[in-house]
Amino acid sequence: MAAYVNRSMSMMAGDGPHNVAILNNGPVRVNMANVDSPLQIFVRAKKKINDIFVEIDDYVKDAVSFMHAVSGEKGIATPQDVANVEAYVSKVQAIREVLKRDHMKVAFFGRTSNGKSTVINAMLHDKILPSGIGHTTNCFLQVEGSDTNEAFLRTDGSEEKLNVQSVSQLGHALCASRLQECSLVHVYWPRELCALLRDDVVLVDSPGVDVTPNLDEWIDQYCLDADVFVLVANAESTLMVTEKNFFHKVSTKISQPNIFILNNRWDASASEPEYLDQVRTQHANRCVDFLSRELRVCSPKEAEERIFFISAKEALLTRMREREKPVSSPILADGHQVRYFEFVDFERKFEECISQSAVRTKFAQHSRRGKNIAADVMAALEQVYNSATDRKTTMVEKQRLLHEQLSAIEEQLTTITRQMKDKINRMVESVEHKVSLTLSQEIRRLSALVDEYDALFRPERAALEQYKRALHRHVEAGLGSRLKKRLSSDIGHEMDEAQKEMAERMYSILPSHKRGAAAAVIVPHQQPFEVLYRLNCDNLCADFHEDLSFRFSYGITALIQRFQGKHANRIALKNPPTYAQVRHLWL
Ligand SMILES: Nc1nc2c(ncn2[C@@H]2O[C@H](COP(=O)(O)OP(=O)(O)OP(=O)(O)O)[C@@H](O)[C@H]2O)c(=O)[nH]1
């Protein structure tokens, strides 16, 4: 109580921060002291949830980029996985749009002339909606804050901005251009002029519930998203069946609606002070009974906190005065301050209720949705992570097996290479032995070769030199062809066998799928093996001096020593396979 009294006194005194907005009739100065308003619960929650959805939006977009990046990797993310995550981008956008527009909505109902429009005007601190005796409000009028600092009207479904003065024509039952009772007119009022509007409260005025049979249609169109309902009753009479019927219908369509009951026109009680308490108790009991027992929307104790006895007319007058606006009836009845405090108390409790209700009903659903989206996207990313991890494990295992295989093969290759080198060494020794033996035998029959040489011998120096060179060629050719004939096929056969064995052993260590490719590299030599023996008689006989008297001799013993000497001649084993060729197969 103390809080609202202080606040009310402060507002009546006109202190606290003020804002200025421009209306048709000039600049307006308004009290905006609502920093501790319960509406801030909704305002802060809205900012918080909007910020969270900005983060969810970024998270989803990052996830989409990531999914696109990995979609090329086989077995990690399918195009369907990418599309599933991508679908959340538009869902998050849609929620963000709804969140931006989310507001707290309060709908005012009651019989004609009970003072619904006057209550709204008092809450807005200005005479915005038409009011007067008789049936005044002809259609639904929704007052909401305008983002631009201007006041204007818009009929539902139209983009045309109408002058704010035309609300009297459009919404007034007595004007010729009035709309259908179910129509909606948006009244945009500068947020800066009213704390309620600035904090995203939307107020809906309605025609009297006693002037229409279309209550169901009203409820479906204007009540389903309302956070709070205010029944504006007439304290001069009592709750009427039409009013009760309307809220019975509301409570069948909406679970546990938040309903406040304002017993308006309580200023009338000033003229009958002797019955004031009894009437108040009677009205209060009936209202508590209606909310708690008939509608079952709250407990009797909670109901007591939802029932107020006010004078909207006085509250509006007080606030118009405070803003130095001209007022028609300056005289206020006795007890007007107490009634004003109760009006302020109603505003406070209404703000708490609408703020908490809107946060719960509107943001709780969005929070769940946001959590689910984040969880779904995280699950998709986890699936990608798990697939990638499985793939990595498989590849690492494959790499380990390959390394093992490679090490084993390199070991075998080293063994084979060593064995082959030993074999080659043994073969070289064997061939040298064979060549040496064959050469000895051939040299022993060298005289026969020399005897076959039948060129004309002349002792002159020049002719003698020519004779010697020709004889050398003859001996070289004869000896070479004899060695080749006797050694080639024997050694060649041995070489072929050795090459074949080497190739087969190489094949045996290769993995089966590599053998095809290796066949082109490990091929046993196809060229026939031949023994080449380079016999240079000119060198061999360089220190030979002919005895012309005895013709000449080749000095057989010397020749044999020369042939077998370590710096003399070498057997050439043509085309042996090399270690480099063998190793190339593996690299
Ligand atoms: N004495 C007194 N008169 C009031 C009070 N509240 C509103 N009125 C007057 O009652 C008449 C009807 O007020 P409205 O605000 O137009 O009532 P309403 O419920 O909006 O009426 P409809 O728009 O026709 O449904 C106006 O002349 C107001 O000045 C109040 O608390 N005390």
What is the CA(263)–ligand 1 centre distance, in A? 12
Q: How far apart are CA 117 and CA 119, in angstroms?
A: 5
Q: How far apart are CA 179 and CA 142, in angstroms?
A: 14
Q: What angle do CA 346, 347, 349 make, to 5 degrees?
A: 65
What is the CA(273)–ligand 1 centre distance, in A? 22
Q: Which atom of ligand 1 is nearest to 264's Cα?
A: 31
pLDDT of residue 120: 96
The most confident of the ranges 38-42, 150-154, 349-353, 472-476 is 349-353
CB 276, CB 269: distance < 8 Å: yes
List all residues 6 or more positions away from 224 whose beta carbon is below 8 Å from its beta carbon: 253, 254
| Mean pLDDT estimate for the chain | 81
Q: Whose CA is nearest to atom 27 of ligand 1?
A: 132
Amino acid in the structure at residue 205: D
pLDDT at residue 154 above 60?
Answer: yes
3-state SS, one letter per residue, for 399-459: HHHHHHHHHHHHHHHHHHHHHHHHHHHHHHHHHHHHHHHHHHHHHHCHHHHHHCCCCCCCC
User: Residue 180 carries which DSSP code?
Assistant: P
What is the CA(118)–ligand 1 centre distance, in A? 6
pLDDT of residue 544: 65
Amino acid in the structure at residue 77: A
Q: What is the mean pLDDT of residues 310-329?
A: 84
pLDDT, tens digit (0-9, with 9 covering 90-100), for 545-561: 666 554 444 555 555 55
300: three-class secondary structure by DSSP: helix
pLDDT, tens digit (0-9, with 9 covering 90-100), for 157-181: 788 888 776 566 555 544 555 566 6
Q: Which atom of ligand 1 is nearest to 121's Cα?
A: 15
Q: Which atom of ligand 1 is nearest to 137's Cα?
A: 23
pLDDT at residue 583 above 50?
Answer: no
The DSSP annotation for 331-363 comes to ---TTHHHHHHHHHHHHHHHHHHHHHHHIIIII
Least confident range from 92-101, 133-142, 363-372, 552-561: namely 552-561
Alpha helices in 211-335 (DSSP H): 215-218, 241-253, 276-289, 300-304, 312-322
User: Encoding tokens for residue 409?
Assistant: 């093969």
The reply to whether ligand 1 has any atom less than 6 angstroms from the CB of 171 is no
| Beta strands 26-31; 18-23: pairing state | antiparallel
pLDDT of residue 135: 63
Tell me what percent of the residues of the chain surpass a pLDDT of 70: 80
Which tops the pLDDT comparison, 232 or 78? Answer: 232
Q: Whose CA is nearest to atom 1 of ligand 1?
A: 265
Q: How far apart are CA 46 and CA 101, in angstroms?
A: 10
User: Encoding tokens for residue 368?
Assistant: 């769940």
pLDDT at residue 92 above 90?
Answer: yes
Q: Which atom of ligand 1 is nearest to 208's Cα?
A: 25
pTM: 0.65
Among the listed residues 312, 265, 306, the one whose alpha carbon sits nearest the alpha carbon of residue 284: 306
Which tops the pLDDT comparison, 476 or 299? Answer: 299
What is the CA(265)–ligand 1 centre distance, in A? 8
pLDDT, tens digit (0-9, with 9 covering 90-100), for 452-470: 888 888 878 888 888 888 8
Secondary structure E strands in 137-283: 140-146, 152-155, 184-190, 201-205, 228-234, 259-264
The reply to whether ligand 1 has any atom less than 6 angstroms from the CB of 267 is yes
The DSSP annotation for 62-128 comes to HHHHHHHHHTTSTTT--HHHHHHHHHHHHHHHHHHHHHHH--EEEEEE-STTSSHHHHHHHHHTS--
Q: Whose CA is nearest to atom 28 of ligand 1?
A: 132
pLDDT of residue 21: 42
The reply to whether ligand 1 has any atom less than 6 angstroms from the CB of 269 is no
Tell me what percent of the residues of the chain surpass a pLDDT of 90: 37
Burial of 358: CB neighbours in 10 Å, binned 0-12, 13-18, 19+: buried
Q: What angle do CA 137, 139, 144 make, to 5 degrees?
A: 90
User: Residue 240 carries which DSSP code?
Assistant: -
Looking at beta carbons, which pairs linking 499-503 to residues 24 or more positions away fall under 8 Å?
Answer: 499/524, 499/525, 499/577, 500/524, 501/423, 502/416, 502/420, 502/577, 502/582
Q: Which atom of ligand 1 is nearest to 311's Cα?
A: 31
| Helix 39-70 / helix 336-358 crossing angle, nearest 10 deg | 20
pLDDT of residue 570: 43
Q: Whose CA is nearest to atom 26 of ligand 1?
A: 132
Which tops the pLDDT comparison, 122 or 490? Answer: 122
User: Encoding tokens for residue 398?
Assistant: 């494959």
pLDDT of residue 551: 47
Confidence of residue 14 (pLDDT cuts 50, 70, 90): very low
Confidence of residue 373 (pLDDT cuts 50, 70, 90): very high
The DSSP annotation for 465-534 comes to HHHHHHHHHHHHHHHHHHHHHHHHHHHHHHHHHHHHHHHHHHHHHS-HHHHHHHHTTS----SPP-EEE-
Q: What is the mean pLDDT of residues 387-402?
A: 93
pLDDT of residue 581: 44
The reply to whether ligand 1 has any atom less than 6 angstroms from the CB of 34 is no
| Mutation pick for ligand 1 pocket among 128, 131, 167 (CB with most ligand atoms within 8 Å) | 131
Q: 508 to each of 204, 216, 411, 421, 516, how far by Cα in Å?
A: 92, 91, 13, 18, 12
pLDDT at residue 425 above 50?
Answer: yes
Q: Which atom of ligand 1 is nearest to 211's Cα?
A: 25
The reply to whether ligand 1 has any atom less than 6 angstroms from the CB of 137 is yes
The reply to whether ligand 1 has any atom less than 6 angstroms from the CB of 130 is no
What is the CA(322)–ligand 1 centre distance, in A? 21
The reply to whether ligand 1 has any atom less than 6 angstroms from the CB of 234 is no
Q: How far apart are the first and last CA of the chain?
A: 92
Least confident range from 72-86, 216-230, 520-534: namely 520-534
Q: Which helix (H) or strand (E) holds 29?
A: strand 26-31
- Strand-pairing partners, residue 232, are 262
Q: All domains of the chain, ordered by start, with CATH? A: 103-334 (3.40.50.300), 445-550 (no CATH), 551-587 (no CATH)
CA gyration radius, the chain: 57
Q: How far apart are CA 290 and CA 308, in angstroms?
A: 14
Least confident range from 110-119, 512-521, 552-561: namely 552-561
pLDDT of residue 307: 97
| Mutation pick for ligand 1 pocket among 118, 211, 334 (CB with most ligand atoms within 8 Å) | 118
| Helix 79-101 / helix 364-444 crossing angle, nearest 10 deg | 160
Q: What number is the ipTM of this complex?
A: 0.99
Alpha-carbon 221 to chain mean position:
38
| Mutation pick for ligand 1 pocket among 109, 112, 117, 263 (CB with most ligand atoms within 8 Å) | 117
Q: Whose CA is nearest to atom 8 of ligand 1?
A: 115
